[in-house]
Structure formats: structure tokens, C-alpha cells
Amino acid sequence: MRFASLGSGSKGNATLIEVGKTRVLLDCGFSVKETEKRLLRLGCEPDSLDAVVVTHEHGDHVNGVGRLSRKYKLPVWLTVGTNEVAKDTDFNQTCFIDPHSNFEIGDLSLQPFPVPHDAREPCQFVFSDGAVRLGILSDLGRVTPHVLSSLDSLDALMLECNYDYDMLMEGSYPYSLKKRVSGDLGHLDNKQSEAILKKLDLTKLQHLIGGHVSEKNNLPEFARQALYRGANCESEWISMASQENGFDWRDVR
Ligand SMILES: [Zn+2]
Ligand SMILES: [Zn+2]
């Protein structure tokens, strides 16, 4: 299995996951043109995609999904709740996710798990080829026992480090937005992400990548510190997904 990011952050998210001949795009918060450009940067022809899987209806995750689905005739997998409230749901084909049931797309197995976030029916995913497991977690207000058990003993993890609490509180956001971001249905701050890592079995972990880092309320260096403290590892071992460049392909064996 391998995975790569087209970009990560509040201006757009999209992650590519590949197993054998199966290629799935997790979320697409970029325009079709931007998505095509970013896919080609990773050596991926857009018409080689098999499906788009959607975590929730926020624009930074779905802005390009409808148009990409129609242009490349892609099925879109999402929860009934997300489909009800997403803006553009005129998909080439709609496939519903039960957030408590695993499902398969080609050679890829997906294990969804519901998360607390201010969306209708958000879920995040663990991807597997039957041998190794990759967890991708973003847009989470607080950790739950089910989130922790879903992420235990992974081989690779991309974890949200959205904001630094002090930077958010001292920053320019209006009070209501500060409350939303830091609330139980908002996003993970660096310390919450660090605490999650401390509760997980990381002995098999080959990749740890910080994602969805706020450009206004965080610094990649702060997020990196939280991750290496949480995982008790060397700082050089941690990667950060950027808004502009995401990150290049990572192999998980
Ligand atoms: Zn988001
Ligand atoms: Zn969101």
C-alpha cells in the first residue's frame, strides 16, 4: 500500500491511497483543475482513479467532489447524512457508507469510524490491504474510546494537528469561531494530538504525518514537537503535510 497528499489544511484536503491497481481519493477540497494538477504532480492520471471517499460535507473536503465525479465518472462513497447536506451531490454514482461497517473498493478495505465534529454524519477511516493498516484522522473535536480503538496498532498514521491553543486564543479569529474550533465538535489542537499518540500502540508505525495544520493558528514546528513528544521518537522521523504541496508517496509494507 502507498499513500500521498495533494494538500492538507483549511483551504483544501485530498489524500491518495493506492493498493495494487486500486486508487482512491479521500476527500477533494480543491477545484477540478487544481486537483488534476496536483494528481499529475504525483504521477497519477486523474482517469486512473477508482472512487472518491468523503469524510464530511465541509467545503475544504468536498469542494471538487461533484465535478470530479462527473468529469471522470467516479463513484462517490459517503454517509447518508453527508449526502443530505453536501452542496453538490449530483455524483456519477452514489454509494452509501454505514459508519459502523467495513467495506471494500477494489483491493482496498475501508474501516470507517464516526467522529465528533460539527458536521451531519462525519466519519474518518482506516485503510487496509489485508496486511498493513493506514489511519487518516482529521476534523475531530475530541477523542472518543472508539476513535482510539480504531487507530490502535496502525502501520501508518496521518493525524490532525490543527491549532496551537495559545495562538488560537491570542489570534484574530472572532470569539465565536475560537469557541467553535476549540470545542468538542471542532478540531484537534497539538496537545490533544500528542495525548492521542500516547494512548496508542505505535510499535508497528512506519509513518507519522501531521495534517490539517492551520496557517493562522499554528506553526508546523509546534505540531511536529507535539507529534514527536507523543510518539516518543526523533523529530526528523515526523513529516508534515502542507497546504500547498501535501506530501509525496509513502510506502507502507
Ligand atoms: Zn477540514
Ligand atoms: Zn470539517
User: Sign of the C-alpha dihedral, residues 205, 208, 212, 218?
Assistant: positive
Q: What is the CATH number of domain 2-247?
A: 3.60.15.10
- Read off the pLDDT band of 239 (50, 70, 90): very high
187 Cα–ligand 2 center, Å: 8
70 Cα–ligand 1 center, Å: 23
C-alpha cell at 79: 454517509
Helices (H), the chain: 32-41, 59-62, 65-72, 80-85, 145-150, 165-170, 175-182, 190-199, 220-231
52 Cα–ligand 1 center, Å: 16
What is the average pLDDT across 66-72? 98
Gyration radius of the chain's alpha carbons: 17
131-165, pLDDT tens digit by residue?
Answer: 999 999 999 999 999 999 999 999 999 999 999 99
Q: If you average pLDDT over every residue of the chain, what do you get? A: 97
What is the average pLDDT across 241-248? 98
β-sheet bridge partners, residue 24: 17, 51
The Cα 81–Cα 175 span in angstroms is 28
The Cα 224–Cα 229 span in angstroms is 8
pLDDT at position 171: 96
Report the percentage of the chain scoring pLDDT > 90.
100
The Cα 28–Cα 63 span in angstroms is 6
138 Cα–ligand 1 center, Å: 7
In this structure, which amino acid lies at residue 13? N
Residue extents of the structural domains in the chain: 2-247
- Read off the pLDDT band of 172 (50, 70, 90): very high
61 Cα–ligand 1 center, Å: 6
